[in-house]
Every structure is written in structure tokens, then in C-alpha cells.
């Protein structure tokens, strides 16, 4: 599953104890395993090899350049949603032609940047956006390729905040409007509408919603062909599950088993398949290390107050997400064989694992059965490689954590911990940017 394991009661990332990393760089700290990243990528690529897909790693899940570079070296293209992500992809050495660019709110500046960089496909989310991209491309005398993001109205059975393929979400256009979309824009000279994009939600723990949505869009592709619009690219998006709990997520091969037969003949006929996995590659490739500052009792509750909480990992408080949490050094009887929501080992007691932030909603786990926890202990929050550091904030003026990449027996600092000076680095002596009296001498009535 991943390269985080206990040996003699100590948690290792590959060949390094995470305690030694915490000793060197302090906490809170994200630790990534390069072997896990590349294994997960290889497994995903192998599962879908029959479709010869372009795998566009979804940068939003974990954006550190060391992560992007590791995956770029495996051959990944990238799934982007902003100018900032395009910047990262290029720094990681990824050819923008191997990138797809999605997102409902692309600005003019971002569109110009992506046109200049010649990104592979714009994944377009609305009529207004298509017109804007075409207009900017015409002004810049450029041509680009685009896929229409279709909203298939399929329920991915996931958290409502990360459900994207239902009609009432802001993403894509519905199937009926998709037909009209091609009739209006299918012949555009600057923006060639030759693809279809789907992303139904994340995480999706069954192949079924993918099959339902793919079946719907294949029908759409046939209808479009009958009307003279040739679709040569189908992007199925991301959302493939990760093992937050041991054996929770289907293997890549299980999604592929359902999807490959649906698509194999189309691929033979020239349809290019794109996949946009994020968390299935990155989630279990990272842990978050926290130090217990205080153990506090209050009524019937025991709180383990750590040096990071919702500011470094917002998923538990924002989505009610489960992350397995365990001390990095444990007695033999407490070595976890599996990562479960309720662990069945002797001598465990319920603890609320919380952070230092001044909100009651600042928690990582509530009533979690843990081995005895004391001040100074190091805790690992597992499966934090996806949507961890990328969603971290400086709330309460907490500097952002360090990030470390482990390869075998070597741990490398790939983002230094922020300092207090970093917190205020963009603030400056007040400078006049607008003076109403000076710039508008005759105000209206
Ligand atoms: N493609 C598109 C167009 C997406 O919007 C996303 C995720 C992905 C691919 C990658 O999804 P993945 O394979 O990583 O599940 N912050 C939330 C997840 C938000 C997902 C947003 N879009 C979380 O922590 O669960």
C-alpha cells in the first residue's frame, strides 16, 4: 500500500525513522515517500495501459515541486486549474502540451499565459469561458484545442463538497446543453472543440459512477459524430480512491477492469484517453508529523493538544474526513497491523486530537482510540499527502510547515519551515494606490 511501516515499534518512511526527521526539521512537518509516489503512479499506469492514456497528475492534490518532479520523471503530464499550477508544472519540467487546463474561473491573464505556453487542452466549463478563450486566442493570433467539460448528472456517492458531476453543481455543462454548445462553437477557428472532459467528484470508491458517466458521454460522442463533430479526446478526470482505511479503496486495476472494455475499441479507432489522478497517487505517499504539546482532561474528555491542527490539515474539520493517527513510537502490542477507524488493541483510550488554533472546530480526530499519549510524543497523521499541505493556511499567524521527501535512506528538505519574517514578508509601509480626490476631481451628485 505504501512505504510507511513500523519496525521495532518505530515508524519508518522507507529506510528512515520519521522521529529522526522531526528531530532535524521540527514539527509540524509533512513527510513524503518517493517510492510510494512512483509505485502508485506505476500501478495506475499499468492498470490502464491497454488504453495507452495520457496520465495528467492532478497538481492540486500535492503541489510541491519535488512531488511534481518525481511524477514528471515517471512520464506524467499534469492537470492544472490555475496559472500558478502551470508555473509549477513548467518548473517541474513538464511540457505544457501534455497538460490539461480546467477550472470554472480562468482569468484573462491565466488564459493568455496558457495560450502562450501552448497547453494541450483547455477543459472548458461554460459558454462565456469558451467565447473568452476564443476572443483572446484571436487577439493573440493563436489556435488552441479544447474539451467541453460535461456534467453527466451522475452521483459519485461522495461528500457533497466534492461532488462535481451532479446537475446542481457549478461544474461543466449538462448533456442537453452540450449538444447546443457544439452547434454554436463547434466550428470555431481559434479554439478547436475536439474533446470531452468529465470529472464527477472525489474520492469515488466504486467504478460504477465512472461507468455510468462514461456510457452517457460515449452516447453523446456518437451523436456529435452524426452531426459532423469529431471528438478525438476523452478525459475521464480524477477522483480514484485512496486507502485512508486499509483496503478501503478499489485498486486501480478494479476501476480499469470496468472502464477498459468500454473504451478499448474507441481507442483503436483513434480516441485519445486522458486520466487525472491525484489522491490515489499522493494521499498515502505522505504523513503529517505533529508533536503533542499538552495532554488535557476536561470533563470526560482527554485532549491531545498538538502543534498543528486545522491550519496544517483541514480535511477532518472541513469534510469530516477520517485520517488514521498513531504515535510514531509504540510498544510492541500497539504496533498497528492495519489502519482502521476503530482499532482493537489492548490498553487504548479515547482521545480528541486537536490543534493550537482558537476554534472548537480545530480537530484532527474526535474520541479516537489511541495508545497512551504524553507530552512530547510524536504523532503521525497518515494519508495526508493529498490535500494536506496544499490546503494549509497561516491562520492564527502560524507559519506553514516544512516538507521533506524521503528516497530510500535519505531525507531531503523540499520546503523549509516558514519563519515569522515570512509571515509579514508581503506586508509593507502603506503606499497610496488610489486617491479619490486626486483621480476624480468632479465626483458625480
Ligand atoms: N480533475 C479535476 C477536474 C478535479 O477537480 C480534481 C479534484 C481532480 C482531477 C483530482 O481528484 P483526485 O483524484 O485527487 O480525487 N480537497 C478535497 C478534494 C477536492 C478535489 C477537487 N478536485 C479533499 O481533501 O478531499
pLDDT of residue 439: 66
Residues 6+ apart with CB under 8 A from 263: 51, 214, 234, 271, 273
Closest listed residue to residue 356, CA positions, set 320, 402, 304, 401:
304
Reported confidence tier of residue 444, pLDDT bands at 50, 70, 90: low
Neighbours of 239 (CB within 10 A): 28
Reported confidence tier of residue 227, pLDDT bands at 50, 70, 90: very high
Residue with the nearest Cα to atom 15 of ligand 1? 239
Distance of CA 275 to the CA centre of its chain: 14
Q: Which of 40, 53, 55, 60 to mutate to test the pocket of ligand 1 (most atoms within 8 A of CB)?
A: 60
Residue with the nearest Cα to atom 9 of ligand 1? 238
Distance CA 113, CA 130 (A): 16
Q: Is 144 a catalytic residue?
A: no
CATH of region 34-281, choose from 2.60.40.1120, 3.20.20.10, 1.10.3470.10, 3.30.1490.20: 3.20.20.10
Cell, residue 38 = 512512483
Q: Which of 202, 239, 276, 319 to mutate to test the pocket of ligand 1 (most atoms within 8 A of CB)?
A: 202
pLDDT above 70 (res 445): no
pLDDT above 90 (res 157): no
Work out the average pLDDT over 190-196. Answer: 98
Q: Tens digit of pLDDT for each residue in 27-77?
A: 999 999 999 999 999 999 999 999 999 999 999 999 999 999 999 999 999
DSSP character at residue 416: P
Distance CA 443, CA 423 (A): 39
Q: Tens digit of pLDDT for each residue in 328-351?
A: 999 999 999 999 999 999 999 999
The answer to whether the beta carbons of residues 355 and 313 sit under 8 Å apart is: no
3-state secondary structure of 286: strand
Residue list, ligand 1 pocket, CB within 6 Å: 58, 60-61, 79, 102, 162, 199, 202-203, 237-240, 276-280, 315, 319, 386-387
Query: Measured on CA atoms in the order 289, 292, 293, 299, is the torsion positive or negative?
Result: positive
Please give the distance, rounded to the nearest whole angstrom, from the Cα atom of residue 199 to the centre of ligand 1.
9
Domain with CATH 2.40.37.10 in the chain: 4-30+283-424
pLDDT of residue 436: 84
| Cα angle 308, 285, 319; round to 5 | 50
* Catalytic residue chosen out of the listed positions 56, 144, 328, 358: 358
Q: Tens digit of pLDDT for each residue in 383-398?
A: 999 999 999 999 999 9
Distance CA 136, CA 19 (A): 52
Strands 10-13 and 4-7: antiparallel
| β-sheet bridge partners, residue 370 | 349
**How many angstroms separate the Cα of 30 from the Cα of each of 72, 320, 371, 379, 435?**
21, 21, 22, 12, 45
pLDDT above 70 (res 181): yes
Work out the average pLDDT over 268-279. Answer: 98
CA atoms within 13 A on the CB side of 210: 28
pLDDT of residue 437: 81
Distance of CA 102 to the CA centre of its chain: 13
Please give the distance, rounded to the nearest whole angstrom, from the Cα atom of residue 278 to the centre of ligand 1.
7
Reported confidence tier of residue 163, pLDDT bands at 50, 70, 90: confident
**How many angstroms separate the Cα of 333 from the Cα of each of 84, 346, 379?**
47, 7, 17
Q: Which of 53, 101, 278 to mutate to test the pocket of ligand 1 (most atoms within 8 A of CB)?
A: 278
pLDDT above 80 (res 216): yes
The answer to whether the beta carbons of residues 229 and 193 sit under 8 Å apart is: yes
pLDDT above 80 (res 158): no
Distance CA 21, CA 406 (A): 10
Residue found by looking up cell 515517471 in the block: 74
Tell me what the pLDDT averaged over the chain comes to.
95
CATH of region 4-30+283-424, choose from 3.10.20.310, 1.10.10.10, 2.40.37.10, 3.90.950.20: 2.40.37.10
Radius of gyration of the chain (CA): 24
Please give the distance, rounded to the nearest whole angstrom, from the Cα atom of residue 87 to the centre of ligand 1.
19
Reported confidence tier of residue 319, pLDDT bands at 50, 70, 90: very high
Residue with the nearest Cα to atom 23 of ligand 1? 387
Residue found by looking up cell 495508545 in the block: 371
Report long-range pairs for 116-119 (Cβ below 8 Å, ≥24 apart).
Answer: 116/140, 116/142, 117/86, 117/90, 118/142, 118/144, 119/80, 119/86, 119/144
| Ligand 1 atom showing the smallest separation from residue 123 Cα | 3
The answer to whether the beta carbons of residues 259 and 212 sit under 8 Å apart is: no
Distance CA 360, CA 157 (A): 28
| β-sheet bridge partners, residue 201 | 163
Please give the distance, rounded to the nearest whole angstrom, from the Cα atom of residue 170 to the centre of ligand 1.
15
Give all strands of the β-sheet with 10-13 in edge-to-edge order: 4-7, 10-13, 16-17
Q: Tens digit of pLDDT for each residue in 78-130?
A: 999 999 999 999 999 999 999 999 999 999 999 999 999 999 999 999 999 99
Please give the distance, rounded to the nearest whole angstrom, from the Cα atom of residue 25 to the centre of ligand 1.
29
Please give the distance, rounded to the nearest whole angstrom, from the Cα atom of residue 46 to the centre of ligand 1.
22
Cell, residue 125 = 466549463
Between 294 and 201, the higher pLDDT residue: 294
Residue with the nearest Cα to atom 14 of ligand 1? 278
Distance CA 396, CA 335 (A): 35
Residue found by looking up cell 499506469 in the block: 45
Domain with CATH 3.20.20.10 in the chain: 34-281
Q: What's the farthest any 2 CA atoms get from each other in the chain?
A: 79
pLDDT above 70 (res 373): yes
Closest listed residue to residue 252, CA positions, set 277, 226, 224:
277
Closest listed residue to residue 236, CA positions, set 290, 179, 190, 197:
197
Distance CA 255, CA 253 (A): 6
pLDDT above 70 (res 245): yes
Between 438 and 431, the higher pLDDT residue: 431
- Stated length of the chain: 445
Distance CA 212, CA 215 (A): 5
| Ligand 1 atom showing the smallest separation from residue 237 Cα | 1
Amino acid at each position: 500500500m505504501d512505504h510507511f511501516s513500523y519496525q521495532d515499534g518505530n515508524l519508518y518512511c522507507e529506510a528512515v525513522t520519521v522521529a529522526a526527521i522531526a528531530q532535524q526539521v521540527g514539527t509540524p512537518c509533512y513527510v513524503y515517500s518517493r517510492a510510494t509516489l512512483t509505485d502508485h503512479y506505476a500501478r495506475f499506469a499499468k492498470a490502464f495501459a491497454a488504453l495507452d492514456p495520457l496520465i495528467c497528475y492532478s497538481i492540486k492534490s500535492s503541489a510541491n515541486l519535488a512531488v511534481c518532479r518525481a511524477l514528471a520523471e515517471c512520464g506524467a503530464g499534469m492537470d492544472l486549474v490555475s496559472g500558478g499550477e502551470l508555473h509549477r508544472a513548467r518548473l517541474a519540467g513538464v511540457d505544457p502540451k501534455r497538460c490539461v487546463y480546467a477550472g470554472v474561473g480562468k482569468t484573462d491573464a491565466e488564459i493568455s499565459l496558457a495560450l502562450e505556453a501552448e497547453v494541450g487542452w483547455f477543459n472548458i466549463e461554460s459558454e462565456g469561458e469558451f467565447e473568452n478563450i476564443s476572443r483572446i486566442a484571436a487577439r493573440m493570433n493563436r489556435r488552441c484545442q479544447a474539451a467541453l467539460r460535461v456534467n453527466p448528472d451522475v452521483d459519485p456517492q461522495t461528500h457533497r463538497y466534492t461532488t462535481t458531476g451532479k446537475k446542481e453543481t457549478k461544474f461543466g455543462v449538462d448533456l442537453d446543453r452540450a449538444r447546443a454548445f457544439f452547434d454554436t462553437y463547434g466550428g470555431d477557428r481559434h479554439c478547436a472543440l475536439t474533446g470531452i472532459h468529465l470529472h464527477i467528484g472525489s474520492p469515488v470508491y466504486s467504478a460504477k459512477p465512472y461507468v455510468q458517466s462514461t456510457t452517457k458521454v460515449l452516447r453523446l460522442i456518437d451523436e456529435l459524430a452524426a452531426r459532423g463533430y469529431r471528438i478525438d479526446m476523452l478525459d475521464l478526470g480524477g477522483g480514484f480512491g485512496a486507502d485512508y482505511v486499509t483496503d478501503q479503496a478499489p485498486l486501480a486495476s478494479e476501476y480499469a477492469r470496468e472502464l477498459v472494455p468500454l473504451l478499448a475499441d474507441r481507442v483503436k479507432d483513434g480516441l485519445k484517453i486522458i486520466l487525472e489522478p491525484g489522491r490515489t497517487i499522493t494521499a498515502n505517499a505522505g504523513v503529517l508529523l505533529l508533536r503533542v504539546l499538552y495532554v488535557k482532561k476536561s470533563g470526560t474528555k482527554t485532549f491531545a493538544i498538538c502543534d498543528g491542527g486545522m491550519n496544517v490539515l483541514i480535511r477532518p474539520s472541513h469534510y469530516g474526513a477520517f485520517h488514521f493517527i498513531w504515535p510514531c513510537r509504540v510498544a510492541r502490542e500497539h504496533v498497528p497491523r492495519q489502519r482502521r477507524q476503530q482499532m482493537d488493541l489492548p490498553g487504548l483510550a479515547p482521545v480528541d486530537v486537536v490543534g493550537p488554533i482558537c476554534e472548537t472546530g480545530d480537530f484532527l480526530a474526535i474520541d479516537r482510540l489511541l495508545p497512551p499519549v504524553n507530552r512530547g510524543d510524536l504523532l503521525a497523521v497518515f494519508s495526508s499527502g493529498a490535500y494536506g499541505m496544499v490546503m494549509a493556511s497561516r491562520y492564527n499567524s502560524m507559519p506553514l510547515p516544512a516538507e521533506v521527501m524521503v528516497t530510500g535512506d535519505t531525507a531531503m528538505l523540499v520546503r523549509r519551515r516558514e519563519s515569522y519574517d515570512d509571515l509579514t514578508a508581503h506586508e509593507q509601509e502603506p503606499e497610496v494606490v488610489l486617491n479619490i480626490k486626486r483621480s476624480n476631481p468632479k465626483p458625480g451628485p
